[in-house]
Amino acid sequence: MHAASRLGALATLGLHAAVLAALVAYQPTRSALLRAAPIMVDWIAAPRPEPKVEPPTEPPRPRPVKKAPAERHVLAAAPEAPVPAVVPAPPPPPPPAPIAAAPAEIPVTAPVFNASYLDNPAPAYPPMSRRLREQGKVVLRVLVNAAGGADDVQVRASSGFPRLDDTARETVRRWRFVPAKRGPQAVPAWVLIPISFKLEG
């Protein structure tokens, strides 16, 4: 049954093909088919040349644009007033030390050598000086101690004759004196004693 169906289909296709062939062979029918069938034209485009592929070039780097420095408006600060240096005040000068009142100078009385009660003898005239007519005045400088004695006898001014000077010095060395005094106190002091040698007649 399956084979019979196949045969029937083939027979049908064969009949159609025969009919189609007869129609094509018939001139009027072929002309009509040709007029009715569109003419198909295939345009074959010429092959386009392949574009040259250039290696990608690195785009130029944009140059950095130098920005003009922005003007800075600097506000000038007002100059600070100089701070005055603090100088410590100098310490007040110390009060002047009280001046001690100098004790009143007690006057010193000079030694006394010519008081009558002292019995001081005059120097003897040397015999040789008398014969030679030697005369003159000698001034002695005597240090009288607190006890009234002569500690030192010096020739302050010579008579011009050593014999007369020595006689005067040795005589005064034995004299007694009233010592010098500072107030009630006896003190040593110097005194000048003039002695004259003068011949009479």
**Is this prediction's pTM over 0.85?**
no
Rounded CA-CA distance 192/159 in Å is 15
Q: For residue 160, give its domain range.
A: 112-197
CATH number, domain with residue 175: 3.30.2420.10
Instruction: Give phi and psi for 89, each to the nearest 5.
Output: -65, 135
Give me the pLDDT at residue 41, please: 39
Residue 158 lies in a domain: yes
> Which residue, among 114, 157, 152, has the nearest Cα to 136 in the 3D structure?
157
DSSP structure string for 12-35: HHHHHHHHHHHHHHSHHHHHHHHH
Instruction: Give pLDDT, residue 12.
Output: 72
124 belongs to a structural domain: yes
Residue 136 lies in a domain: yes
Statement: residue 147 has pLDDT above 80: yes
**Total domains present in the chain:** 1
% of the chain exceeding 90 in pLDDT: 43
- What does the alpha-carbon distance between residue 16 and residue 31 come to, in Å, rounded to a whole number? 20
E strands, 73-114, in order: 108-109
